[in-house]
Amino acid sequence: MKRLIAVLALVVVPLGSAVTPAHADPVGPSIGPVCLTLSPFANLLVLYFTPNGVNEFLLNGKDIGVGNRAVSGNAFLSGSPAQLFLGFTFHARDAAVNSTIGGGTMSLSTLSGPGFARAIDGGNFTFTVAIATCPVGATAGVTQDAPAVAPNSP
């Protein structure tokens, strides 16, 4: 229970406070890092959410759990009860690792929800996307204003 309260305080409250009225300038500082898991897979996404419109966010970060690949995408808040809709791309690191696109719908009341991904080579995957506690050192090399795709990145 203490973990849930901490996650709500550190993740959901800032995301909720980033929701801006229609008349306000919606672009602001990034929120994060926010860590997401894609269970049952070993992926651990370390993401920054940058406001990009009313209830909309740009995503930028890395998958430090599998392949240390750059991740970019979009997210938006909608619905009652509130849900966070995610769409993202895992960028190829080299010729041996294909790019993958995916997304999910996460309930802000449960901090999890269904997700899917499709690899460029045709593999399809389903998973549960969920907020996770970022492990110590998880944000090393992940910055909120780093480009999502670095040319010739290792």
The tens digit of pLDDT for each residue in 33-66 reads 999 999 999 999 999 999 998 999 999 999 988 8
- Give me the pLDDT at residue 150, please: 38
The domain total for the chain is 1
For residue 15, give the DSSP letter: H
Give 141's pLDDT tier (boundaries 50, 70, 90). low
Q: What is the pLDDT of residues 63-114, one digit of tens each?
A: 988 878 899 999 999 988 899 999 999 888 777 677 899 999 999 999 999 9
With respect to residue 54, please indicate whether it lies within any of the assigned structural domains: yes
With respect to residue 146, please indicate whether it lies within any of the assigned structural domains: no
Report long-range pairs for 48-52 (Cβ below 8 Å, ≥24 apart): 48/142, 48/143, 48/144, 49/15, 49/18, 49/75, 50/144, 51/18, 51/20, 51/26, 51/27, 52/26, 52/27
Mean pLDDT, all residues of the chain: 78
Give the domain extent around 84: 2-20+27-132
Closest Cα to residue 94, out of 35, 21, 49, 151? 151
| pLDDT score of 1 more than 70 | no
With respect to residue 139, please indicate whether it lies within any of the assigned structural domains: no
How many whole angstroms separate alpha carbon 25 and alpha carbon 146? 23
How many whole angstroms separate alpha carbon 41 and alpha carbon 66? 9
CATH assignment of the domain containing 72: 2.40.128
- Give me the pLDDT at residue 142, please: 67
